[in-house]
Amino acid sequence: MLQVRGLSVNYGAVCALEGADIEVHAGEIVAMIGPNGAGKSTALRAIAGILPHCDGRIAAGEVTFDGRVINTMPPHKLIRLGLSLVPENRHVFSSMTVLENLEMGACTSRDKQANREALNRVLALFPRLAERKRQRAGTLSTGEQQMLAMGRGLMVSPKLMLVDEPTVGLSPNFVDVVFDTLVAINKAGTSILLVEQNARLALEISHRSYVFEIGKIALSGESRALSEDPRIKKSTSARRTRREFPFARRDPSVGVRAAKRRFPVSCLQSDAVVRGPRPQVFHS
Protein backbone atom coordinates (compact mmCIF):
# COMPACT_ATOMS: atom_id res chain seq x y z
CA MET A 1 0.00 0.00 0.00
CA LEU A 2 2.55 2.59 1.15
CA GLN A 3 6.24 2.37 0.35
CA VAL A 4 8.87 4.90 1.39
CA ARG A 5 12.37 4.37 0.04
CA GLY A 6 15.47 6.30 1.07
CA LEU A 7 13.50 9.29 2.34
CA SER A 8 15.60 12.28 3.37
CA VAL A 9 14.04 15.55 4.47
CA ASN A 10 15.66 18.96 4.98
CA TYR A 11 14.45 22.04 6.82
CA GLY A 12 16.61 24.70 5.21
CA ALA A 13 20.20 23.46 5.50
CA VAL A 14 19.37 21.02 8.31
CA CYS A 15 18.82 17.34 7.55
CA ALA A 16 15.97 16.24 9.82
CA LEU A 17 15.57 12.73 8.38
CA GLU A 18 18.01 10.63 6.39
CA GLY A 19 17.50 7.46 4.34
CA ALA A 20 14.25 6.24 5.91
CA ASP A 21 12.57 3.11 4.51
CA ILE A 22 8.97 2.56 5.66
CA GLU A 23 6.22 0.21 4.49
CA VAL A 24 2.56 -0.13 5.39
CA HIS A 25 0.59 -3.08 4.07
CA ALA A 26 -3.17 -3.27 3.72
CA GLY A 27 -4.87 -4.00 7.04
CA GLU A 28 -1.89 -3.08 9.21
CA ILE A 29 -1.27 -0.72 12.09
CA VAL A 30 2.34 0.42 11.82
CA ALA A 31 3.86 2.49 14.62
CA MET A 32 6.73 4.96 14.53
CA ILE A 33 8.22 5.48 17.99
CA GLY A 34 11.25 7.27 19.38
CA PRO A 35 12.31 10.47 21.16
CA ASN A 36 11.20 13.99 20.34
CA GLY A 37 13.00 15.46 17.35
CA ALA A 38 13.89 12.05 15.90
CA GLY A 39 12.09 12.63 12.60
CA LYS A 40 8.82 10.72 13.11
CA SER A 41 6.47 13.62 12.45
CA THR A 42 8.75 14.82 9.65
CA ALA A 43 8.30 11.47 7.91
CA LEU A 44 4.53 11.77 8.35
CA ARG A 45 4.52 15.30 6.89
CA ALA A 46 6.48 14.09 3.88
CA ILE A 47 3.99 11.29 3.23
CA ALA A 48 1.02 13.66 3.73
CA GLY A 49 2.41 16.19 1.25
CA ILE A 50 2.49 19.12 3.68
CA LEU A 51 6.26 19.65 3.96
CA PRO A 52 6.20 22.77 1.73
CA HIS A 53 3.82 24.37 4.24
CA CYS A 54 6.32 23.62 7.01
CA ASP A 55 9.34 25.09 5.20
CA GLY A 56 10.63 21.59 4.52
CA ARG A 57 11.42 19.61 1.39
CA ILE A 58 12.13 16.05 0.35
CA ALA A 59 15.86 16.04 -0.44
CA ALA A 60 16.01 12.42 -1.60
CA GLY A 61 13.93 9.27 -1.83
CA GLU A 62 10.55 8.23 -3.12
CA VAL A 63 7.10 7.85 -1.58
CA THR A 64 4.58 5.61 -3.37
CA PHE A 65 0.95 4.96 -2.44
CA ASP A 66 -1.03 2.25 -4.23
CA GLY A 67 1.66 2.13 -6.87
CA ARG A 68 1.71 5.87 -7.59
CA VAL A 69 4.61 8.17 -6.78
CA ILE A 70 3.24 10.93 -4.54
CA ASN A 71 6.37 12.94 -3.66
CA THR A 72 5.08 16.14 -5.24
CA MET A 73 1.36 15.49 -5.10
CA PRO A 74 -0.66 18.20 -3.25
CA PRO A 75 -2.68 17.21 -0.16
CA HIS A 76 -6.14 17.52 -1.74
CA LYS A 77 -5.18 14.98 -4.41
CA LEU A 78 -3.78 12.62 -1.80
CA ILE A 79 -7.11 12.73 0.00
CA ARG A 80 -8.87 11.61 -3.16
CA LEU A 81 -6.45 8.68 -3.40
CA GLY A 82 -7.52 7.57 0.09
CA LEU A 83 -4.89 9.16 2.36
CA SER A 84 -5.89 11.27 5.37
CA LEU A 85 -4.04 12.95 8.23
CA VAL A 86 -4.96 13.36 11.89
CA PRO A 87 -2.51 16.11 12.91
CA GLU A 88 -0.64 16.46 16.18
CA ASN A 89 -2.40 18.69 18.72
CA ARG A 90 -5.74 18.10 16.97
CA HIS A 91 -6.13 21.56 15.35
CA VAL A 92 -9.91 21.54 15.27
CA PHE A 93 -11.72 24.65 14.02
CA SER A 94 -12.64 26.00 17.44
CA SER A 95 -15.25 28.53 16.30
CA MET A 96 -17.15 25.92 14.27
CA THR A 97 -19.47 23.24 15.57
CA VAL A 98 -18.58 19.59 15.84
CA LEU A 99 -20.76 18.86 12.81
CA GLU A 100 -19.15 21.61 10.76
CA ASN A 101 -15.69 20.30 11.64
CA LEU A 102 -16.67 16.84 10.44
CA GLU A 103 -18.12 18.27 7.24
CA MET A 104 -14.79 20.03 6.63
CA GLY A 105 -13.20 16.60 6.59
CA ALA A 106 -15.23 15.71 3.51
CA CYS A 107 -14.89 19.05 1.73
CA THR A 108 -12.98 17.46 -1.18
CA SER A 109 -15.82 15.02 -1.90
CA ARG A 110 -18.86 15.95 -3.99
CA ASP A 111 -20.66 12.66 -3.35
CA LYS A 112 -23.37 13.76 -0.88
CA GLN A 113 -24.61 10.23 -0.27
CA ALA A 114 -21.11 8.97 0.54
CA ASN A 115 -20.57 11.96 2.82
CA ARG A 116 -23.79 11.23 4.73
CA GLU A 117 -22.80 7.60 5.14
CA ALA A 118 -19.34 8.57 6.34
CA LEU A 119 -20.85 11.01 8.84
CA ASN A 120 -23.17 8.34 10.21
CA ARG A 121 -20.24 5.94 10.63
CA VAL A 122 -18.18 8.55 12.46
CA LEU A 123 -21.03 9.48 14.82
CA ALA A 124 -21.66 5.80 15.51
CA LEU A 125 -17.97 5.32 16.32
CA PHE A 126 -17.91 8.42 18.55
CA PRO A 127 -21.30 8.66 20.33
CA ARG A 128 -20.02 11.58 22.39
CA LEU A 129 -19.57 13.61 19.20
CA ALA A 130 -23.14 12.76 18.21
CA GLU A 131 -24.33 14.17 21.54
CA ARG A 132 -22.34 17.36 20.98
CA LYS A 133 -22.63 17.85 17.23
CA ARG A 134 -24.17 21.35 17.62
CA GLN A 135 -21.56 22.39 20.19
CA ARG A 136 -18.61 24.60 19.29
CA ALA A 137 -15.44 22.55 18.98
CA GLY A 138 -13.47 24.99 21.11
CA THR A 139 -15.63 24.15 24.13
CA LEU A 140 -14.88 20.42 23.98
CA SER A 141 -12.44 18.76 26.33
CA THR A 142 -9.01 17.84 24.99
CA GLY A 143 -10.03 14.20 24.70
CA GLU A 144 -13.23 15.08 22.86
CA GLN A 145 -11.27 17.29 20.48
CA GLN A 146 -9.00 14.32 19.73
CA MET A 147 -12.08 12.26 18.92
CA LEU A 148 -13.20 15.06 16.61
CA ALA A 149 -9.84 15.21 14.85
CA MET A 150 -9.93 11.45 14.29
CA GLY A 151 -13.53 11.62 13.11
CA ARG A 152 -12.63 14.40 10.66
CA GLY A 153 -9.85 12.21 9.27
CA LEU A 154 -12.33 9.37 8.74
CA MET A 155 -14.81 11.47 6.78
CA VAL A 156 -13.06 10.66 3.49
CA SER A 157 -13.24 6.90 4.22
CA PRO A 158 -9.46 6.61 3.86
CA LYS A 159 -7.51 3.54 2.89
CA LEU A 160 -4.64 4.77 5.04
CA MET A 161 -4.89 7.16 7.98
CA LEU A 162 -1.80 8.98 9.22
CA VAL A 163 -2.13 9.68 12.95
CA ASP A 164 0.37 12.03 14.59
CA GLU A 165 0.79 11.92 18.39
CA PRO A 166 -2.90 11.31 19.23
CA THR A 167 -2.39 11.01 23.00
CA VAL A 168 -0.47 14.24 23.63
CA GLY A 169 -2.05 16.10 26.55
CA LEU A 170 -4.73 13.48 27.22
CA SER A 171 -5.74 12.00 30.55
CA PRO A 172 -4.98 8.26 31.06
CA ASN A 173 -8.65 7.38 30.54
CA PHE A 174 -8.75 9.11 27.17
CA VAL A 175 -5.44 7.53 26.16
CA ASP A 176 -7.08 4.12 26.49
CA VAL A 177 -10.10 5.32 24.50
CA VAL A 178 -7.89 6.60 21.69
CA PHE A 179 -5.96 3.34 21.38
CA ASP A 180 -9.14 1.25 21.53
CA THR A 181 -10.62 3.44 18.80
CA LEU A 182 -7.55 3.05 16.58
CA VAL A 183 -7.88 -0.72 16.87
CA ALA A 184 -11.60 -0.49 15.96
CA ILE A 185 -10.83 1.72 12.96
CA ASN A 186 -8.23 -0.76 11.77
CA LYS A 187 -10.56 -3.73 12.18
CA ALA A 188 -13.12 -1.86 10.05
CA GLY A 189 -10.65 -1.90 7.17
CA THR A 190 -8.49 1.24 7.46
CA SER A 191 -4.71 0.87 7.62
CA ILE A 192 -2.97 3.17 10.11
CA LEU A 193 0.49 4.73 10.28
CA LEU A 194 0.86 5.95 13.85
CA VAL A 195 3.40 8.33 15.39
CA GLU A 196 3.29 7.93 19.16
CA GLN A 197 5.43 8.73 22.21
CA ASN A 198 3.79 6.04 24.36
CA ALA A 199 5.97 3.23 23.05
CA ARG A 200 4.49 0.52 25.23
CA LEU A 201 0.90 1.02 24.07
CA ALA A 202 1.94 1.67 20.47
CA LEU A 203 3.76 -1.66 20.40
CA GLU A 204 0.74 -3.39 21.95
CA ILE A 205 -1.73 -2.37 19.24
CA SER A 206 0.52 -2.32 16.16
CA HIS A 207 1.57 -5.12 13.86
CA ARG A 208 4.98 -3.69 13.00
CA SER A 209 7.03 -0.75 14.25
CA TYR A 210 9.90 1.54 13.34
CA VAL A 211 12.09 2.91 16.12
CA PHE A 212 13.62 6.28 15.32
CA GLU A 213 16.76 7.79 16.74
CA ILE A 214 17.86 11.30 15.86
CA GLY A 215 17.31 11.64 12.13
CA LYS A 216 17.10 8.00 11.12
CA ILE A 217 15.50 4.61 11.78
CA ALA A 218 17.46 2.56 14.32
CA LEU A 219 15.29 -0.56 14.58
CA SER A 220 12.33 -2.08 12.77
CA GLY A 221 10.35 -5.28 12.84
CA GLU A 222 7.29 -6.95 14.30
CA SER A 223 6.00 -5.05 17.31
CA ARG A 224 5.78 -8.15 19.49
CA ALA A 225 9.46 -8.90 18.92
CA LEU A 226 10.51 -5.28 19.41
CA SER A 227 8.64 -5.11 22.70
CA GLU A 228 10.99 -7.82 24.00
CA ASP A 229 14.12 -5.96 22.90
CA PRO A 230 16.09 -5.03 26.06
CA ARG A 231 16.58 -1.45 24.89
CA ILE A 232 12.87 -0.98 24.28
CA LYS A 233 11.93 -2.64 27.57
CA LYS A 234 14.35 -0.39 29.42
CA SER A 235 12.90 2.73 27.79
CA THR A 236 9.31 1.80 28.73
CA SER A 237 9.98 0.68 32.30
CA ALA A 238 8.18 2.41 35.14
CA ARG A 239 11.39 3.96 36.40
CA ARG A 240 11.93 5.91 33.18
CA THR A 241 9.88 8.46 31.34
CA ARG A 242 8.07 7.21 28.27
CA ARG A 243 9.91 9.82 26.21
CA GLU A 244 13.40 8.46 26.95
CA PHE A 245 15.09 6.05 24.56
CA PRO A 246 18.51 4.98 25.84
CA PHE A 247 19.90 4.31 22.35
CA ALA A 248 18.93 7.76 21.00
CA ARG A 249 22.11 9.47 19.94
CA ARG A 250 22.58 12.90 21.51
CA ASP A 251 24.87 14.41 18.90
CA PRO A 252 25.03 18.21 19.16
CA SER A 253 26.28 18.42 15.58
CA VAL A 254 22.91 17.21 14.32
CA GLY A 255 21.15 20.26 15.73
CA VAL A 256 17.67 19.25 14.56
CA ARG A 257 15.85 20.43 17.66
CA ALA A 258 17.68 23.74 17.69
CA ALA A 259 16.95 24.35 14.01
CA LYS A 260 13.28 23.44 14.14
CA ARG A 261 10.88 26.17 15.04
CA ARG A 262 7.13 26.09 15.57
CA PHE A 263 5.86 25.38 12.07
CA PRO A 264 2.57 26.64 10.64
CA VAL A 265 -0.41 24.37 11.02
CA SER A 266 -1.66 22.50 7.96
CA CYS A 267 -5.09 20.92 7.76
CA LEU A 268 -4.88 18.15 5.17
CA GLN A 269 -8.62 17.62 5.03
CA SER A 270 -9.34 21.15 3.82
CA ASP A 271 -5.99 21.74 2.08
CA ALA A 272 -5.88 25.03 4.03
CA VAL A 273 -2.81 26.47 5.62
CA VAL A 274 -3.30 28.59 8.71
CA ARG A 275 -0.26 30.61 9.75
CA GLY A 276 0.51 32.40 12.99
CA PRO A 277 1.28 31.66 16.61
CA ARG A 278 -2.41 31.16 17.43
CA PRO A 279 -4.24 29.38 14.57
CA GLN A 280 -7.46 31.05 13.48
CA VAL A 281 -10.12 30.12 10.94
CA PHE A 282 -10.98 32.72 8.36
CA HIS A 283 -14.36 32.50 6.69
CA SER A 284 -15.01 33.98 3.24
Strand residue runs (E) in the chain: 2-11, 14-24, 29-33, 56-65, 68-69, 83-86, 160-164, 191-195, 208-213, 216-222, 265-267, 272-274
- List C-alpha distances in Å: 106 to 122, 131, 146, 267: 12, 20, 17, 12
Enter the CATH code of domain 2-274.
3.40.50.300
Q: Is the pLDDT of residue 207 over 50?
A: yes
For the chain, the structural domain boundaries read 2-274
Per-residue confidence (pLDDT) for residue 36, from 0 to 100 = 87
Q: Give 189's pLDDT tier (boundaries 50, 70, 90).
A: very high
Q: Which residues does residue 211 pair with via DSSP β-bridges, in sequence order? A: 33, 219
Q: Please state the three-class secondary structure of 117-144 as a single string.
A: HHHHHHHHHCHHHHHCCCCEHHHCCHHH
Per-residue confidence (pLDDT) for residue 269, from 0 to 100 = 41
Per-residue confidence (pLDDT) for residue 244, from 0 to 100 = 37
Per-residue confidence (pLDDT) for residue 237, from 0 to 100 = 53
Q: Is the pLDDT of residue 260 over 60?
A: no
**For residues 159 and 44, is the Cβ–Cβ distance under 8 A?**
no
Q: What percent of the chain has pLDDT over 70?
A: 82
| Residues sharing a CB contact under 8 Å with residue 151, sequence separation 6 or more, in sequence order | 102, 105, 122, 123, 125, 126, 129
CA distance linking residue 183 with residue 181, whole number of Å:
5
Range 258-284 average pLDDT: 35
Q: Is the pLDDT of residue 187 over 80?
A: yes
Q: Is the pLDDT of residue 161 over 70?
A: yes
CA distance linking residue 75 with residue 179, whole number of Å:
26
Q: Is the pLDDT of residue 284 over 80?
A: no
Per-residue confidence (pLDDT) for residue 238, from 0 to 100 = 35
Range 59-67 average pLDDT: 95
CA distance linking residue 247 with residue 231, whole number of Å:
7
Per-residue confidence (pLDDT) for residue 239, from 0 to 100 = 31
Q: pLDDT per residue over 84-98, tens digit each?
A: 999 988 889 999 999
Range 112-122 average pLDDT: 93
Q: pLDDT per residue over 3-51, tens digit each?
A: 999 999 999 999 999 999 999 999 999 999 998 889 999 999 999 999 9
CA distance linking residue 219 with residue 233, whole number of Å:
14
Q: pLDDT per residue over 222-256, tens digit each?
A: 999 999 888 887 765 533 333 333 333 333 333 33
State the average pLDDT for the chain.
83
Q: Is the pLDDT of residue 108 over 90?
A: no
Q: What is the pTM of this model?
A: 0.81
